Chains A and B, each alone.
Chain A
Amino acid sequence: MDPALRILIIEDLDLDAQLLVHELTKAGYAVEARRVREEAEFCAALNEAGWQLVVCDYQLPRFNARRALELLRAHDPELPFIVVSDRMGEEAAVEMMRRGAQDYLLKIDLARFVPVVRRELREVEHRRARRQAERQLQRLSQVVEQADAGVIITDSAGRIEYANPALTRLTGYTREELYGQTPRILKSDRHKPAFYAQLWRTVLAGDPFYAVFANRKKNGELFYEEKTITPLRNEAGRITHFVSTGQDITQRRAAEEALRQAHAELERRVVERTAELSAANARLQELDRLKSEFLATMSHELRTPLNSIIGFTGVVKSGMAGPVSDEQQRQLGMAYSAAQHLLTLINDLLDVSRIEAGKVRLEKEPFDFAEVVGVAVGQLKPLAQAKRLVLRAQLPPGPLPMVGDRGRCLQVLLNLVQNAVKFTAKGSIDLVVRVEPEAVRLDVIDTGVGIKPEHMGQLFEAFRQVDGSARRAYEGTGLGLYLCRRLILMMGGEISAHSVYGQGTHFEVRVPCTLPAEVTDDSSLPPEPPNHVCENSVG
């Protein structure tokens, strides 16, 4: 059985209300009726959901049909409203219909009541559906109208039937100018015919076509649109319309293009700069190579005649080539030592340039440090004796095994002791060797002129003899101590000096028993000696 028909009756007379219910019941309806007499009651009832019909008496003592209809329509525009009256003029009836009543009946003609109800119950459904569809359509058209995307709807032949404000704003065409045209009105020369052919093939096959379009505005300006063209089909499946929605990406493309150009420019400059740098680097390497080659050649060219000078001086001086007078002997001696001195200069200069180019590689072989001390003392003893100086070495008993560069250790020792002999007029030079954990400590102590406190800081610098006036008194390159320090640092050791001016100088050297792992690259060394290695005990 159908659910009960819910009916709201506005009627002051009990009997009339019952009559209406009776009519419906008689026609087979199950009825759930509510009778109200006045506005407050009516409003309360309206707040309940599910009413299907309102029947209202035209003449009411405390309410009236016109007001009731007004209230109902505010509440529900579709709910059927039927006016019932004892006697109702044509004019009043028309007025009520105009205000939204569905029908009117005279109480004496209630035979029409049931058919009217039946008809209204049917029609209200249609009205509701239509109303909803209209509302939906309205919402949809608002969406399209207010959308940010440009929308064009064409018929199946491609004629524009609709364009939204976003599109007219974008293109500069009015709707009137667009309607009836095809979207070709926007076409630019930027796409090949194949592009449009592909478009038509796709949409006619019923598929959406997606692409970036380069189109022209009414003023000829080019713009870029990211567009989707979708075919619309009717219920029979036939394509009736095409909808194009597009987003203007002109600015985005311009920004992307600018970014790409900036990138390309940056890349170009990086490449350019890299090329410049690598060219400069190649030039520097070439210069460095030329310098090394030059030094090697010069070294060779300087030593070759020196070989003859030293060799022949030695030959003549030794009497091998015939007897030599004492005076000749003395003079040859001076020539011989001058040549030896020249050789030292050449060797020192070569060493400095090689160390600064990072080209000196230290040997890493086992040797006896005690033996090296012995060799150094042996070589310099004659020099010390010639000046009536005492040269003593104090060593722990037995060998002092080390791993490293014996030749460079000897060079350092010879340099330090030779230096001490050179700057000492009378007294002694003492070499004290001690074993420390993992290292050998060497002290070279002389009783020479000493170093003034203000010259202490420059002691280990290249091309510097601490006192300008000393340069004349004590010949030398001024490279000896610099070389010593560089070599000792390469060995992972340290050197420092103390001096009391006028009383003597004390050099303190510490060399690890084993060379550090990496000793060839000395580019990280500071160009100037750090202060801690040249402390001054006189201060």
Chain B
Amino acid sequence: MSAKILLVEDNPENRYLFTFLLKRAGYTVRSASNGCEALAEAASMVPDLVIMDIQMPEMDGYEATARLREDPRFDAVPIVGLSAFATTGDHERARRSGFAAYLAKPIVPEDFLREIAAYLPVALRP
């Protein structure tokens, strides 16, 4: 059985790219385009892992992550941050804000998939 992944990304091309890569790798993928949608989606599907873009309109990735972390249902769910801001300060802030990891855009497809798999229990890897 493969993992259910919630992908939160506002840019439609990138959303399509990540969804394509993840589905192709065998994951079940649901996507949201901002933090509010992400919270609703997470409640309905209870994902095994969340991939969260950090800069998004309406509700950004920091806030969405903070909300998810308040909810005990998602205690065991790793949240992997994604950002096009590649600065040391962002890494630190992401680590403090409840992200399990932080990936800088642009991603390299193979590296991206390898990183995601690393945050899932072996049983849930494709």
Interface positions of B (Cβ within 8 A of A): 11, 13-14, 17-18, 20-21, 24, 55, 83-89, 105-110, 112
Contact = CB atoms under 8 A, between A and B. Distances in A.
A311 B110 contact: no
Contacts of B85: 296, 299-300
Nearest to B82: A307
B13 A347 contact: no
Contact of B14 (A300, A308, A321): A308
Given A311-B112, A315-B109, 5 more contacts: A307-B11, A307-B106, A311-B21, A347-B86, A360-B88
A5 interface: no
B106 A361 contact: no
Chain B CB within 10 A, most for which of A302, A303, A304, A339: A304
B86 A315 contact: no
B88 A407 contact: yes
Interface of A: 296, 299-312, 314-315, 318, 320-321, 339, 343, 347, 350, 354, 360-361, 363, 407
A307 B88 contact: no
Contact of B86 (A303, A309, A339, A361): A303
A303 B103 CA distance: 13
A299 B84 contact: yes
Contacts of B87: 296, 350, 354
A446 to B, nearest CB: 27
A289 to B, nearest CB: 15
Contacts of B105: 303-304, 306-307
B110 A304 contact: no
Nearest to A363: B88
Contact of B11 (A304, A360, A407): A304
A311 B88 CA distance: 23
B112 to A, nearest CB: 8
Task: Please name the 5 residue pairs, one residue from A and one from B, whose CB atoms are nearest each other, closest first.
Answer: A303-B84, A307-B106, A314-B109, A308-B13, A307-B105
A318 B110 contact: yes
A304 B84 contact: yes
Contact of A312 (B17, B86, B88): B17
Nearest to A339: B106
A309 B106 contact: yes
Nearest to B112: A311
Contacts of B17: 307-308, 311-312, 315
Contacts of A360: 88
A307 B109 contact: no
27 contacts: A296-B85, A299-B84, A299-B85, A300-B84, A303-B86, A303-B106, A304-B11, A306-B106, A307-B11, A307-B17, A308-B11, A308-B106, A309-B106, A311-B107, A311-B109, A311-B112, A312-B17, A314-B108, A314-B109, A318-B109, A318-B110, A320-B24, A343-B106, A350-B86, A350-B87, A361-B88, A361-B89
Contacts of B88: 360-361, 363, 407
A304 B14 contact: yes
Nearest to A361: B88
Nearest to A336: B108
Contacts of B112: 311
A314 B14 contact: no
A369 B91 CA distance: 21
B7 to A, nearest CB: 13
B88 to A, nearest CB: 6
Contacts of A296: 85, 87
B107 A307 contact: yes
Nearest to A295: B87
A345 to B, nearest CB: 13
A303 B85 CA distance: 8
A182 B35 CA distance: 95
Contacts of B109: 311, 314-315, 318, 320
A350 to B, nearest CB: 8
A311 B13 CA distance: 10
Contacts of A318: 109-110
A258 B110 CA distance: 81
Contacts of B89: 361
A310 B107 contact: yes
B86 A307 contact: no
A363 B83 CA distance: 20
Given A300-B55, A315-B17, A315-B20, A307 B110 contact: no
A299 B83 CA distance: 11
B17 to A, nearest CB: 4
